[in-house]
Amino acid sequence: MLKVVANEISRTCQTSSRREFLQVGTLGLGGLSLARLFSTASHASEAGKLDFVKDKAVVMLNLQGGPTHIETFDPKMTAPSEYRAMFGEVRTSLPGVTFGSHFPGLARQAHRMAVVRSFAHGNSSHSTASAMVSAGGNTTKACMGSIYPRIAGMSHLDTGLPRSILVTPKTMGKAYAKLKDVASRITDTGNLPESFKVFDPSSGGKILSDMQLNLPKGRFEDRNGLLRTIDDLRFQADKSGTIASQDEFHQQAYDVILGGISNAFDISGEDKRTLEAYDTGHIRIPRGLARKKKNGRAIPGFSPVALGRQMLLARRLCESGCGFVTVTSTGWDMHGNAFGIDDGMPILGPAVDKAVSAFLEDVHQRGLSEKILLVITGEFGRTPRINDKGGRDHWGNLCTLAFAGGGLPMGQVIGKSDKTASRPAEDLVTNNMLLGTVMHTLFDIGQVRLLSSLPKDMQNAVVNSRPIPQLLA
């Protein structure tokens, strides 16, 4: 992401460009040099103001369109045939617990998961339900991916990586540019300024331009010396004192500029076996399927070929200091006009199973299971009864929700649905509980309560959220 590239744009008489000076000297941050920014952040950290940010990260996999709760984690094979999971069930590593048959990999790792069978909010509209779930129903209407950087800070102090990043298929490169996502539904900033919007690497814009340094490589060292001189003058004028040497902060900025962040986005250096474990590129949509459907033109955009790469990138971003990663997978609106349950689940189900299974095993092998919390959800569930097109329709009365890792109690099923998987029968889980579980994982809520810098409505939204009781660590 942070690159030094040749760019012979308009020059001053001193042979440097105005754009270069603005980007290198201030990084678009109101006159702060990058080295100075690290120093300021370090002062805040030394004062103990970031103690409330836990060394945890959340990856939220949003199955866009409304994933069926029945064919995923609540197959309900005791129900009549028009209600039960269309493709049957598979036994899991938890005694007496089954998942939908397209999830054999996750079934083997069910002891690392907590599946919720009683999550409901009652909203069956794509846009409003998506926004509500992503915000955890909080009154500011800001999504959790925006709440996190508002409290924790916009970027990681050591790596400079944005604290909250969106990973869509397009993030993985030009080969996936035609694949769909509806990220706008789950990235609303609500009452927060737009500056807290989840960072989207695929969208370009000002942030990306600020992160790219338009300097010929041969002149970078000269400019580095100039910036060091300027920063030296600023340090001499600083009456507040310093807690580390000027050179330390300057070197930190220098290292970030030279490409530390870009490495996090480059998955090509991963071990071949790791890449193969995540790979969903072989999961293709059958030829001719789109022509058979009323809304078949949309189907090619639902291909899950990038999902494995997205989940691998999510792990890399968490390792590099990103605290909240939002991953999108679309195509789950399985009415039967485009995908139905009958032809959509055999494509999207195995992709999620492979990508998420690889993710869980990967973070386990790397010793990150306690640090990274995976959340799997969507805007709502699907109707209990299968319709006459081999699909299920919108249903907000019971929804898909599952967790893995984060140091929370795993290996359990939370709540219970009724006889037809229509509504919660025990232990209702609400949007506020989803918000509370995520916020309590990321922050020391007792200390967030004391932050005077937070807007009151934001502070109340976080402090008053309540985690799912069964997931209290």
Query: What value does the mean pLDDT take over residues 372-399?
Result: 98
pLDDT band at 233 (very low <50, low <70, confident <90, very high): very low
Tokens of 204: 């370009």
The mean per-residue pLDDT over the stretch 344-349 comes to 98
Strand (E) or helix (H) holding 113: strand 113-119
Q: Mean pLDDT lowest for which of 26-30, 376-380, 432-436? A: 26-30
- Report how far residue 338's alpha carbon sits from residue 333's, in angstroms, rounded to the nearest whole number: 8
Dihedrals φ, ψ of 199, to 5°? -70, 120
DSSP 393: -
102-145 tens-digit pLDDT: 999 999 999 999 999 999 999 999 999 999 999 999 999 999 99
> What pLDDT band is residue 218 in, cutting at 50, 70 and 90?
low
Q: What is the pLDDT of residues 21-67, one digit of tens each?
A: 334 333 433 334 444 444 444 444 433 456 899 999 999 999 999 99
Residue 202's pLDDT band (cuts 50, 70, 90)? confident
Q: Which residues pair with 327 in a beta bridge?
A: 61, 167
For residue 160, the model assigns a pLDDT of: 78
pLDDT at 21: 35
Whether residue 376 contacts residue 59, with contact meaning beta carbons closer than 8 Å, is answered with no
Mean pLDDT over residues 149-160, rounded? 87
Structure tokens at 333: 């609106």
Could you tell me the domains of the chain? 54-208+271-471 (3.40.720.10)
Q: Each residue of 400-418: pLDDT tens digit?
A: 999 999 999 999 999 999 9
Q: What would the two tokens of residue 420 be?
A: 């037809």
Dihedral angle computed from the Cα positions of residues 442, 445, 448 and 454, in that order, rounded to the nearest 10 degrees: 80
pLDDT, position 232: 57
Pairing of strands 372-377, 57-64: parallel
* Helix, strand, coil in percent for the chain, rounding step 5: 40, 15, 45
The pLDDT of residue 397: 98
Q: Is the pLDDT assigned to residue 163 strictly greater than 60?
A: yes
Examine the pLDDT at 213 and tell me if it is beyond 70: no
According to the model, what pLDDT value does residue 15 have?
39
Q: Quick one: average pLDDT of 349-358?
A: 98
- Could you tell me where the DSSP H helices lie in 283-422? 307-319, 341-365
Instruction: Yes or no: say if 54 and 444 are a contact pair by the CB < 8 Å rule.
Output: yes
- With residue 456 as reference, give the H or E element that holds it: helix 456-463
In single-letter form, the type of residue at position 293 comes to K
What is the rounded CA–CA span in Å between residue 438 and residue 144? 8
Position 103 scores a pLDDT of 98
**Model confidence at 270: pLDDT above 90:** yes
Q: Which residues of 7-42 are buried (b: 16+ CB within 10 A; e: fewer)?
A: eeeeeeeeebbeebeebbbbbeeeebbbbbbbbebb
Average pLDDT, the chain: 85
- Give residue 385's pLDDT: 98
The predicted model gives 169-186 an average pLDDT of 95
- Per-residue pLDDT, averaged over 235-250, amounts to 48
- 27 or 387: which leads in pLDDT: 387
The pLDDT tens digits of the residues spanning 307-336 come to 999 999 999 999 999 999 999 999 999 999
Percent of the chain with pLDDT over 70: 77
Q: How far apart are CA 52 and CA 56, in angstroms?
A: 11
Residue 378 — very low, low, confident or very high, per pLDDT cuts 50/70/90? very high
pLDDT of 343 strictly over 60: yes
Taking residues 238-261, what's their average pLDDT? 50
Q: 191 is written with which tokens?
A: 């009452």
- Phi, psi of 209, rounded to the nearest 5 degrees: -65, -35
- Phi–psi pair at 430, nearest 5 degrees: -105, 170
Q: What band does 437 get if pLDDT is binned at 50, 70 and 90?
A: very high
